[in-house]
Chain A
Amino acid sequence: MKPPSENHDLIRWLDGEMTDAERAAFEGEMKADPALAKEAEEMRSLSASLRTHLPAEMKVPHADFFNSQIQMRIAQLEMEDSRQKPESSLESIFALFRQPWLAAASAVAVVVAGFLMIGPGGTDSEHSLILSSYTPGRGVEASTYHDSAADATVLMLDGLDEVPADRKISGISVHRSETEPEVAATTLFDAAGAPLLVISRDAAGHPLFLRNHPRG
Protein backbone atom coordinates (compact mmCIF):
# COMPACT_ATOMS: atom_id res chain seq x y z
CA MET A 1 0.00 0.00 0.00
CA LYS A 2 1.31 3.43 -0.91
CA PRO A 3 2.01 5.98 1.79
CA PRO A 4 -1.28 7.79 2.64
CA SER A 5 0.01 11.17 1.45
CA GLU A 6 0.48 9.88 -2.09
CA ASN A 7 -2.54 7.67 -2.43
CA HIS A 8 -4.66 9.78 -4.70
CA ASP A 9 -5.84 6.65 -6.49
CA LEU A 10 -7.89 5.68 -3.48
CA ILE A 11 -9.58 9.08 -3.45
CA ARG A 12 -10.16 9.09 -7.19
CA TRP A 13 -11.66 5.60 -7.03
CA LEU A 14 -13.92 6.61 -4.16
CA ASP A 15 -15.13 9.72 -5.95
CA GLY A 16 -15.65 8.05 -9.32
CA GLU A 17 -12.94 10.15 -10.95
CA MET A 18 -11.19 7.19 -12.62
CA THR A 19 -11.50 5.95 -16.15
CA ASP A 20 -12.80 2.40 -16.63
CA ALA A 21 -9.28 1.12 -17.17
CA GLU A 22 -7.92 2.89 -14.11
CA ARG A 23 -10.77 1.58 -11.97
CA ALA A 24 -10.24 -2.00 -13.11
CA ALA A 25 -6.53 -1.74 -12.37
CA PHE A 26 -7.14 -0.25 -8.91
CA GLU A 27 -9.75 -2.85 -7.99
CA GLY A 28 -7.27 -5.52 -9.01
CA GLU A 29 -4.76 -3.89 -6.70
CA MET A 30 -7.29 -3.96 -3.85
CA LYS A 31 -7.87 -7.68 -4.32
CA ALA A 32 -4.17 -8.23 -3.86
CA ASP A 33 -3.91 -5.92 -0.88
CA PRO A 34 -6.43 -6.59 1.94
CA ALA A 35 -5.22 -3.55 3.89
CA LEU A 36 -5.94 -1.30 0.91
CA ALA A 37 -9.34 -2.95 0.44
CA LYS A 38 -10.19 -2.36 4.11
CA GLU A 39 -9.08 1.25 3.88
CA ALA A 40 -11.20 1.77 0.76
CA GLU A 41 -14.27 0.22 2.40
CA GLU A 42 -13.89 2.39 5.49
CA MET A 43 -13.62 5.52 3.39
CA ARG A 44 -16.63 4.52 1.32
CA SER A 45 -18.65 4.00 4.48
CA LEU A 46 -17.55 7.38 5.79
CA SER A 47 -18.55 9.09 2.53
CA ALA A 48 -21.98 7.50 2.67
CA SER A 49 -22.45 8.78 6.22
CA LEU A 50 -21.35 12.27 5.27
CA ARG A 51 -23.82 12.42 2.41
CA THR A 52 -26.60 11.23 4.68
CA HIS A 53 -25.91 13.53 7.59
CA LEU A 54 -24.76 16.73 5.89
CA PRO A 55 -27.88 18.03 4.18
CA ALA A 56 -27.48 20.09 1.02
CA GLU A 57 -30.45 22.17 2.12
CA MET A 58 -31.34 23.34 5.61
CA LYS A 59 -34.23 25.18 7.15
CA VAL A 60 -33.24 28.83 7.54
CA PRO A 61 -33.99 30.15 11.03
CA HIS A 62 -36.48 33.04 10.99
CA ALA A 63 -36.82 32.68 7.23
CA ASP A 64 -39.27 35.56 6.75
CA PHE A 65 -37.00 37.91 8.65
CA PHE A 66 -34.10 36.63 6.56
CA ASN A 67 -35.86 37.77 3.38
CA SER A 68 -37.17 41.06 4.70
CA GLN A 69 -33.82 42.07 6.11
CA ILE A 70 -32.16 41.42 2.76
CA GLN A 71 -34.68 43.71 1.14
CA MET A 72 -34.21 46.38 3.77
CA ARG A 73 -30.44 46.30 3.42
CA ILE A 74 -30.66 46.46 -0.36
CA ALA A 75 -32.98 49.47 -0.06
CA GLN A 76 -30.48 51.13 2.27
CA LEU A 77 -27.61 50.49 -0.11
CA GLU A 78 -29.55 51.88 -3.03
CA MET A 79 -30.45 54.94 -1.02
CA GLU A 80 -26.80 55.46 -0.17
CA ASP A 81 -25.91 55.06 -3.84
CA SER A 82 -28.56 57.57 -4.81
CA ARG A 83 -27.27 60.08 -2.29
CA GLN A 84 -23.88 59.93 -3.94
CA LYS A 85 -25.43 60.87 -7.26
CA PRO A 86 -26.28 64.50 -8.05
CA GLU A 87 -30.00 64.03 -7.75
CA SER A 88 -32.52 65.24 -5.24
CA SER A 89 -32.06 63.72 -1.81
CA LEU A 90 -35.81 63.50 -1.50
CA GLU A 91 -35.92 61.52 -4.69
CA SER A 92 -33.67 58.93 -3.09
CA ILE A 93 -35.73 58.81 0.05
CA PHE A 94 -38.83 58.03 -1.91
CA ALA A 95 -37.07 55.11 -3.50
CA LEU A 96 -38.24 53.31 -0.38
CA PHE A 97 -41.84 53.91 -1.30
CA ARG A 98 -41.24 52.55 -4.76
CA GLN A 99 -40.06 49.20 -3.40
CA PRO A 100 -42.95 46.82 -4.07
CA TRP A 101 -41.84 44.54 -1.25
CA LEU A 102 -42.15 47.35 1.24
CA ALA A 103 -45.60 48.12 0.07
CA ALA A 104 -46.62 44.50 0.10
CA ALA A 105 -45.35 43.94 3.59
CA SER A 106 -46.93 47.03 5.02
CA ALA A 107 -49.99 46.52 7.13
CA VAL A 108 -51.00 50.12 7.49
CA ALA A 109 -54.70 50.68 7.18
CA VAL A 110 -54.61 53.74 4.96
CA VAL A 111 -52.92 54.61 1.73
CA VAL A 112 -49.29 55.56 2.10
CA ALA A 113 -48.25 58.20 -0.40
CA GLY A 114 -45.21 60.38 -0.90
CA PHE A 115 -45.64 64.09 -1.52
CA LEU A 116 -42.82 66.17 -2.88
CA MET A 117 -43.01 69.90 -3.09
CA ILE A 118 -41.48 71.09 -6.33
CA GLY A 119 -40.79 74.50 -7.71
CA PRO A 120 -39.30 77.50 -5.91
CA GLY A 121 -40.76 77.90 -2.45
CA GLY A 122 -43.64 80.31 -2.12
CA THR A 123 -44.43 80.64 -5.82
CA ASP A 124 -47.72 79.97 -7.50
CA SER A 125 -46.26 77.01 -9.36
CA GLU A 126 -45.69 75.04 -6.20
CA HIS A 127 -47.72 71.86 -5.93
CA SER A 128 -47.41 68.29 -4.70
CA LEU A 129 -46.13 65.48 -6.85
CA ILE A 130 -47.12 61.95 -5.93
CA LEU A 131 -44.11 59.73 -6.40
CA SER A 132 -45.67 56.51 -5.29
CA SER A 133 -48.74 55.19 -3.61
CA TYR A 134 -49.82 51.94 -2.08
CA THR A 135 -53.10 50.38 -1.09
CA PRO A 136 -52.89 47.42 1.29
CA GLY A 137 -56.34 46.19 0.36
CA ARG A 138 -56.54 44.09 -2.78
CA GLY A 139 -58.93 45.48 -5.33
CA VAL A 140 -58.33 49.04 -4.23
CA GLU A 141 -56.41 51.24 -6.62
CA ALA A 142 -54.98 54.67 -5.86
CA SER A 143 -54.49 57.49 -8.36
CA THR A 144 -53.79 61.18 -7.98
CA TYR A 145 -54.02 64.42 -9.87
CA HIS A 146 -53.39 68.07 -9.15
CA ASP A 147 -56.47 70.27 -9.18
CA SER A 148 -55.29 73.76 -10.10
CA ALA A 149 -58.58 75.38 -9.25
CA ALA A 150 -58.56 73.96 -5.76
CA ASP A 151 -54.75 74.20 -5.54
CA ALA A 152 -54.80 70.71 -4.09
CA THR A 153 -53.60 67.24 -4.84
CA VAL A 154 -56.55 64.88 -5.08
CA LEU A 155 -56.19 61.28 -4.08
CA MET A 156 -58.63 58.87 -5.76
CA LEU A 157 -59.34 55.47 -4.26
CA ASP A 158 -61.21 53.10 -6.57
CA GLY A 159 -62.75 49.98 -5.13
CA LEU A 160 -62.76 51.16 -1.52
CA ASP A 161 -65.78 50.56 0.68
CA GLU A 162 -67.57 53.63 1.83
CA VAL A 163 -65.37 55.61 4.18
CA PRO A 164 -67.11 56.42 7.47
CA ALA A 165 -67.92 60.11 7.81
CA ASP A 166 -65.86 60.41 10.97
CA ARG A 167 -62.71 59.11 9.27
CA LYS A 168 -60.18 61.84 8.56
CA ILE A 169 -57.85 61.46 5.60
CA SER A 170 -54.92 63.81 5.22
CA GLY A 171 -51.64 64.04 3.35
CA ILE A 172 -48.22 65.19 4.41
CA SER A 173 -45.88 67.74 2.90
CA VAL A 174 -42.24 66.73 3.15
CA HIS A 175 -39.59 69.41 3.21
CA ARG A 176 -36.50 67.30 3.87
CA SER A 177 -35.44 63.91 5.19
CA GLU A 178 -32.66 62.31 7.20
CA THR A 179 -31.59 58.68 7.09
CA GLU A 180 -29.82 56.74 9.81
CA PRO A 181 -28.45 53.66 8.04
CA GLU A 182 -27.24 52.07 11.25
CA VAL A 183 -30.73 51.87 12.65
CA ALA A 184 -32.39 51.57 9.25
CA ALA A 185 -34.65 54.55 9.88
CA THR A 186 -35.60 57.50 7.71
CA THR A 187 -37.26 60.56 9.21
CA LEU A 188 -39.27 62.98 7.10
CA PHE A 189 -39.54 66.61 8.27
CA ASP A 190 -41.97 69.39 7.44
CA ALA A 191 -41.00 72.92 6.44
CA ALA A 192 -40.78 73.96 10.11
CA GLY A 193 -38.33 71.15 10.83
CA ALA A 194 -40.79 69.04 12.77
CA PRO A 195 -40.69 65.26 12.18
CA LEU A 196 -43.65 64.03 10.17
CA LEU A 197 -42.95 60.37 9.70
CA VAL A 198 -40.31 57.84 10.72
CA ILE A 199 -39.90 54.86 8.43
CA SER A 200 -38.19 51.91 10.04
CA ARG A 201 -38.83 48.24 10.76
CA ASP A 202 -40.06 46.33 13.75
CA ALA A 203 -38.33 43.41 15.49
CA ALA A 204 -39.78 41.00 12.95
CA GLY A 205 -38.40 43.04 10.07
CA HIS A 206 -41.77 44.39 8.98
CA PRO A 207 -41.98 47.98 7.80
CA LEU A 208 -42.91 50.36 10.57
CA PHE A 209 -44.35 53.85 10.09
CA LEU A 210 -44.34 56.14 13.10
CA ARG A 211 -46.51 59.13 12.34
CA ASN A 212 -46.17 62.38 14.21
CA HIS A 213 -49.53 63.90 15.11
CA PRO A 214 -50.03 67.26 13.43
CA ARG A 215 -49.66 70.21 15.69
CA GLY A 216 -52.47 72.57 16.51
Chain B
Amino acid sequence: MPAPAATDPGEVSDVDLVKRSQAGDMRAFDTLVTKYRGRIYAMTYHLIQNETEAWDLAQEAFIKAWRALPNFKLDAAFYTWLYRIAHNVTYDWLRKKKIQGDGEFDDERTEHRVAVGAEATPKGDAAPDTALRNAELGQRIQDAIAKLSPDHRQVIILREVEGLAYEEIAALVPCSLGTVMSRLFYARKKLQEILKDVYETTL
Protein backbone atom coordinates (compact mmCIF):
# COMPACT_ATOMS: atom_id res chain seq x y z
CA MET B 1 0.00 0.00 0.00
CA PRO B 2 1.11 3.63 -0.34
CA ALA B 3 3.87 4.47 2.05
CA PRO B 4 3.24 7.14 4.66
CA ALA B 5 5.23 10.35 4.38
CA ALA B 6 8.66 10.32 5.98
CA THR B 7 8.70 11.68 9.51
CA ASP B 8 11.23 14.36 10.38
CA PRO B 9 13.07 14.03 13.67
CA GLY B 10 11.09 15.84 16.31
CA GLU B 11 7.90 15.68 14.29
CA VAL B 12 4.91 14.22 16.08
CA SER B 13 4.21 10.71 14.79
CA ASP B 14 1.04 9.77 12.98
CA VAL B 15 0.21 7.36 15.79
CA ASP B 16 0.31 10.17 18.36
CA LEU B 17 -1.71 12.46 16.12
CA VAL B 18 -4.29 9.75 15.49
CA LYS B 19 -4.64 8.97 19.20
CA ARG B 20 -5.08 12.66 19.98
CA SER B 21 -7.59 12.96 17.15
CA GLN B 22 -9.50 10.00 18.48
CA ALA B 23 -9.68 11.81 21.80
CA GLY B 24 -11.31 14.75 20.02
CA ASP B 25 -8.25 16.94 19.44
CA MET B 26 -9.14 18.74 16.25
CA ARG B 27 -5.77 20.44 16.04
CA ALA B 28 -4.08 17.05 15.85
CA PHE B 29 -6.43 16.03 13.07
CA ASP B 30 -5.76 19.31 11.30
CA THR B 31 -2.05 18.44 11.36
CA LEU B 32 -2.84 15.12 9.69
CA VAL B 33 -4.93 16.92 7.08
CA THR B 34 -2.08 19.31 6.34
CA LYS B 35 0.39 16.44 6.13
CA TYR B 36 -1.57 14.30 3.69
CA ARG B 37 -3.84 16.68 1.79
CA GLY B 38 -1.37 17.00 -1.12
CA ARG B 39 -1.21 13.24 -1.67
CA ILE B 40 -4.92 12.66 -1.27
CA TYR B 41 -5.70 15.58 -3.57
CA ALA B 42 -3.25 14.25 -6.18
CA MET B 43 -4.98 10.88 -6.11
CA THR B 44 -8.47 12.31 -6.46
CA TYR B 45 -7.30 14.73 -9.14
CA HIS B 46 -5.66 12.02 -11.23
CA LEU B 47 -8.82 9.91 -11.04
CA ILE B 48 -11.30 12.71 -11.62
CA GLN B 49 -9.29 15.11 -13.78
CA ASN B 50 -11.22 18.06 -12.44
CA GLU B 51 -9.71 20.43 -9.92
CA THR B 52 -12.93 21.47 -8.21
CA GLU B 53 -14.39 17.98 -7.89
CA ALA B 54 -11.06 16.56 -6.75
CA TRP B 55 -10.81 19.26 -4.08
CA ASP B 56 -14.30 18.44 -2.79
CA LEU B 57 -13.67 14.68 -2.82
CA ALA B 58 -10.40 15.07 -0.96
CA GLN B 59 -12.28 17.04 1.69
CA GLU B 60 -14.97 14.39 1.82
CA ALA B 61 -12.31 11.75 2.40
CA PHE B 62 -10.87 13.60 5.39
CA ILE B 63 -14.33 14.19 6.86
CA LYS B 64 -15.20 10.51 6.48
CA ALA B 65 -11.87 9.64 8.08
CA TRP B 66 -12.64 11.86 11.07
CA ARG B 67 -16.03 10.22 11.48
CA ALA B 68 -14.49 6.75 11.22
CA LEU B 69 -11.54 7.46 13.51
CA PRO B 70 -13.17 5.92 16.60
CA ASN B 71 -13.16 2.59 14.76
CA PHE B 72 -9.57 2.87 13.52
CA LYS B 73 -7.53 0.40 15.57
CA LEU B 74 -4.10 1.55 14.34
CA ASP B 75 -3.59 -1.88 12.81
CA ALA B 76 -2.45 -0.19 9.60
CA ALA B 77 -0.58 3.00 8.81
CA PHE B 78 -2.87 6.01 9.00
CA TYR B 79 -2.11 7.01 5.41
CA THR B 80 -2.91 3.53 4.12
CA TRP B 81 -6.23 3.64 5.93
CA LEU B 82 -6.91 7.19 4.75
CA TYR B 83 -5.95 6.29 1.19
CA ARG B 84 -8.53 3.49 1.13
CA ILE B 85 -11.21 5.88 2.31
CA ALA B 86 -10.23 8.48 -0.30
CA HIS B 87 -10.17 5.88 -3.02
CA ASN B 88 -13.61 4.59 -2.08
CA VAL B 89 -15.04 8.10 -1.88
CA THR B 90 -13.67 8.92 -5.31
CA TYR B 91 -14.79 5.72 -6.91
CA ASP B 92 -18.27 5.99 -5.41
CA TRP B 93 -18.45 9.43 -6.99
CA LEU B 94 -17.35 8.03 -10.33
CA ARG B 95 -19.96 5.31 -10.12
CA LYS B 96 -22.67 7.80 -9.32
CA LYS B 97 -21.67 10.00 -12.21
CA LYS B 98 -21.49 6.95 -14.46
CA ILE B 99 -18.64 8.52 -16.31
CA GLN B 100 -17.52 6.50 -19.32
CA GLY B 101 -14.09 6.86 -20.87
CA ASP B 102 -12.80 7.13 -24.44
CA GLY B 103 -12.94 10.90 -24.61
CA GLU B 104 -16.48 11.35 -23.35
CA PHE B 105 -15.62 14.24 -21.10
CA ASP B 106 -17.15 17.67 -20.89
CA ASP B 107 -15.23 20.91 -20.92
CA GLU B 108 -15.46 21.40 -17.18
CA ARG B 109 -13.55 18.22 -16.49
CA THR B 110 -10.50 19.53 -18.30
CA GLU B 111 -10.36 22.97 -16.73
CA HIS B 112 -7.11 24.13 -15.13
CA ARG B 113 -5.17 21.62 -17.16
CA VAL B 114 -2.36 24.00 -17.96
CA ALA B 115 -1.74 24.83 -14.33
CA VAL B 116 -1.74 21.19 -13.33
CA GLY B 117 0.59 20.26 -16.16
CA ALA B 118 2.98 22.97 -15.08
CA GLU B 119 2.79 21.71 -11.51
CA ALA B 120 3.66 18.22 -12.70
CA THR B 121 6.79 19.37 -14.46
CA PRO B 122 9.86 18.03 -12.71
CA LYS B 123 11.70 20.64 -10.70
CA GLY B 124 15.29 21.37 -11.57
CA ASP B 125 17.60 23.56 -13.58
CA ALA B 126 16.53 22.32 -16.96
CA ALA B 127 17.24 24.56 -19.91
CA PRO B 128 14.20 26.55 -21.06
CA ASP B 129 13.63 24.41 -24.15
CA THR B 130 13.92 21.22 -22.09
CA ALA B 131 11.57 22.63 -19.47
CA LEU B 132 9.11 23.55 -22.19
CA ARG B 133 9.27 20.06 -23.66
CA ASN B 134 8.75 18.58 -20.22
CA ALA B 135 5.75 20.86 -19.62
CA GLU B 136 4.29 19.96 -23.00
CA LEU B 137 4.83 16.24 -22.41
CA GLY B 138 3.32 16.54 -18.95
CA GLN B 139 0.29 18.20 -20.48
CA ARG B 140 0.01 15.55 -23.16
CA ILE B 141 0.14 12.81 -20.52
CA GLN B 142 -2.51 14.50 -18.40
CA ASP B 143 -4.73 14.78 -21.47
CA ALA B 144 -4.13 11.14 -22.36
CA ILE B 145 -4.93 9.98 -18.81
CA ALA B 146 -8.20 11.95 -18.98
CA LYS B 147 -9.19 9.98 -22.07
CA LEU B 148 -8.91 6.60 -20.35
CA SER B 149 -11.99 4.93 -18.94
CA PRO B 150 -12.29 5.29 -15.14
CA ASP B 151 -11.40 1.60 -14.65
CA HIS B 152 -8.25 1.88 -16.75
CA ARG B 153 -7.29 5.22 -15.25
CA GLN B 154 -7.70 3.78 -11.78
CA VAL B 155 -5.26 0.90 -12.22
CA ILE B 156 -2.70 3.09 -13.98
CA ILE B 157 -2.76 5.62 -11.14
CA LEU B 158 -2.59 2.92 -8.49
CA ARG B 159 0.34 1.26 -10.21
CA GLU B 160 2.38 4.11 -11.71
CA VAL B 161 1.70 6.88 -9.20
CA GLU B 162 1.09 5.00 -5.96
CA GLY B 163 3.32 2.05 -6.77
CA LEU B 164 0.88 -0.57 -5.52
CA ALA B 165 1.55 -4.26 -6.19
CA TYR B 166 -0.99 -6.20 -8.25
CA GLU B 167 -2.43 -7.93 -5.19
CA GLU B 168 -2.90 -4.59 -3.45
CA ILE B 169 -4.65 -3.15 -6.50
CA ALA B 170 -6.89 -6.22 -6.75
CA ALA B 171 -7.84 -5.88 -3.09
CA LEU B 172 -8.51 -2.17 -3.33
CA VAL B 173 -10.57 -2.10 -6.55
CA PRO B 174 -11.68 -4.94 -5.89
CA CYS B 175 -11.17 -7.36 -8.78
CA SER B 176 -9.14 -10.41 -9.76
CA LEU B 177 -5.40 -10.35 -10.47
CA GLY B 178 -6.18 -11.21 -14.08
CA THR B 179 -8.43 -8.18 -14.36
CA VAL B 180 -5.70 -5.97 -12.91
CA MET B 181 -3.23 -7.20 -15.52
CA SER B 182 -5.73 -6.88 -18.37
CA ARG B 183 -6.67 -3.34 -17.37
CA LEU B 184 -3.04 -2.34 -17.01
CA PHE B 185 -2.25 -3.80 -20.40
CA TYR B 186 -5.12 -2.12 -22.20
CA ALA B 187 -4.61 1.18 -20.37
CA ARG B 188 -0.99 1.24 -21.48
CA LYS B 189 -1.89 0.27 -25.04
CA LYS B 190 -4.43 3.07 -25.12
CA LEU B 191 -1.90 5.57 -23.78
CA GLN B 192 0.65 4.40 -26.31
CA GLU B 193 -1.88 4.94 -29.05
CA ILE B 194 -2.80 8.44 -27.85
CA LEU B 195 0.84 9.41 -27.34
CA LYS B 196 2.09 7.63 -30.46
CA ASP B 197 3.67 10.74 -31.98
CA VAL B 198 5.59 11.46 -28.76
CA TYR B 199 7.19 8.04 -28.60
CA GLU B 200 7.81 7.80 -32.32
CA THR B 201 10.10 10.83 -32.02
CA THR B 202 11.81 9.81 -28.79
CA LEU B 203 12.40 6.12 -29.40
Contact = CB atoms under 8 A, between A and B. Distances in A.
Interface of A: 4-5, 7-8, 10-12, 15, 17, 41-43, 45-47, 49-63, 66-67, 69-71, 73-74, 77, 99-101, 104
A71 B30 contact: yes
Tell me whether chain A's interface is mostly helix, strand or loop, or mixed: helix
B141 to A, nearest CB: 4
Given A42-B199, A54-B160, A73-B63, A7 B185 contact: yes
Contact of A10 (B33, B42, B120, B185): B185
A49 B137 contact: yes
Contacts of B191: 46, 50
Contact of B142 (A53, A99, A104): A53
B58 A12 contact: no
B181 A60 contact: no
B159 interface: yes
Contacts of A42: 192, 199, 203
A17 B39 CA distance: 25
B38 A53 contact: no
B116 interface: yes
Nearest to A12: B181
B27 interface: yes
B122 A52 contact: yes
B150 interface: no
Interface string B114-156: 0010011110000000000010011001100100000000001
A166 B35 CA distance: 45
Given A11-B181, A66-B59, A57 B38 contact: yes
A43 B41 CA distance: 27
Contacts of B165: 17
Interface of B: 2, 25-27, 30, 33-34, 37-39, 41-42, 45-46, 51, 55, 58-59, 62-63, 66-67, 116, 119-122, 134, 137-138, 141-142, 145, 156-157, 159-162, 165-166, 178, 181-182, 184-186, 188-189, 191-192, 195, 198-199, 202-203
A12 B185 CA distance: 10
14 contacts: A4-B189, A17-B165, A42-B199, A45-B199, A46-B191, A46-B192, A46-B195, A47-B160, A51-B160, A53-B121, A56-B161, A58-B38, A59-B38, A71-B26
Given A8-B181, A46-B199, A104-B27, 10 more contacts: A11-B181, A11-B188, A17-B166, A53-B137, A54-B145, A56-B2, A63-B37, A70-B59, A70-B66, A101-B30
B120 A54 contact: yes
A59 B46 CA distance: 13
Given A57-B42, A69-B59, A74 B185 contact: no
Given A12-B181, A100-B25, A101-B27, A54 B67 contact: no
A106 to B, nearest CB: 14
B184 A70 contact: no
B156 A50 contact: yes
A109 B116 CA distance: 40
B203 A45 contact: yes
Contacts of A10: 185
Nearest to A54: B161
Contacts of A62: 55
Nearest to A55: B120
A56 B42 contact: yes
Contact of A66 (B25, B51, B55, B121): B55
A70 B120 contact: no
Contact of B58 (A17, A49, A60, A104): A60
A69 B113 CA distance: 25
Nearest to A104: B27
Contacts of A101: 26-27, 30
Given A55-B119, A58-B38, A66-B55, A100 B166 contact: no
